[in-house]
Chain A
Amino acid sequence: NAGVTQTPKFQVLKTGQSMTLQCAQDMNHEYMSWYRQDPGMGLRLIHYSVGAGITDQGEVPNGYNVSRSTTEDFPLRLLSAAPSQTSVYFCASSSGRAGPDTQYFGPGTRLTVL
């Protein structure tokens, strides 16, 4: 049971490039989410999903796309990277679909956009 895994751990992009951050969980959790964390700040919700085929926007969705084709995977796509997207990205999952429940976090992806 690996929990929540994220790849890559580090990534450097040039402005305008696109990429996908991968997230997978093996706990059969319905709820998955993506957060970004900027220095000295808490985590801000980008997108979330309450189950396969269902996604919705969080607090800071602009510039990011998500899809949920399977229960296990929840990739985050940066369409055209900008320096403002330099951040640490965390994926999380929880079993609660009908309501809130404990979220478990992955180790994070540190992204730098030049």
Chain B
Amino acid sequence: GESVGLHLPTLSVQEGDNSIINCAYSNSASDYFIWYKQESGKGPQFIIDIRSNMDKRQGQRVTVLLNKTVKHLSLQIAATQPGDSAVYFCAGWPCHDYKLSFGAGTTVTVRA
């Protein structure tokens, strides 16, 4: 299976600054990673994903970095906005396994 964990449970960031959320995973055979955003009272919302054959992937204001050597991935949010305040989860999916494992989540609070 897979075990994923986030490094910090909370992150406070000034509006306009960049945010970095970190995540570690245990299974070196993990093939696919996803970052989700969850706002209060809602289901997790897909942000960005990355497969193990990539080191970096960019979306709109977000970048995911994957370091397979140390089994670490990060989510970078550029120019953080108040609407980015939410809980962020990383999730990992091992090869040949249909079970997606989630970390505990990092609560991001954006200060005006």
Contacts and interface: CB of A to CB of B under 8 A. Distances in A.
Nearest to A97: B98
Contacts, number: 58
Given A41-B104, A100-B93, A105 B45 contact: yes
Interface residues of A, number: 27
Interface in B90-108: 91, 93, 95, 98-105
Contacts of A78: none
A4 B104 CA distance: 23
A71 interface: no
A43 interface: yes
Size class of the B contact interface (CB-based, 8 Å): 20 to 34
B105 A42 contact: yes
Contact of A43 (B32, B42, B49, B89): B89
Interface of B: 9, 31-32, 34, 36, 41-46, 49, 89, 91, 93, 95, 98-105
Interface of A: 4, 31, 33, 35, 40-45, 48, 50, 56, 58-59, 90, 92, 99-108
B66 to A, nearest CB: 14
A99 B32 CA distance: 9
A100 B52 CA distance: 12
A40 B106 CA distance: 10
A3 to B, nearest CB: 10
Contacts of B101: 45, 59
A100 B100 contact: yes
Contact of A40 (B42, B49, B103, B104): B104
A102 B49 contact: yes
Contacts of B31: 99-100
Contacts of A42: 89, 102-105
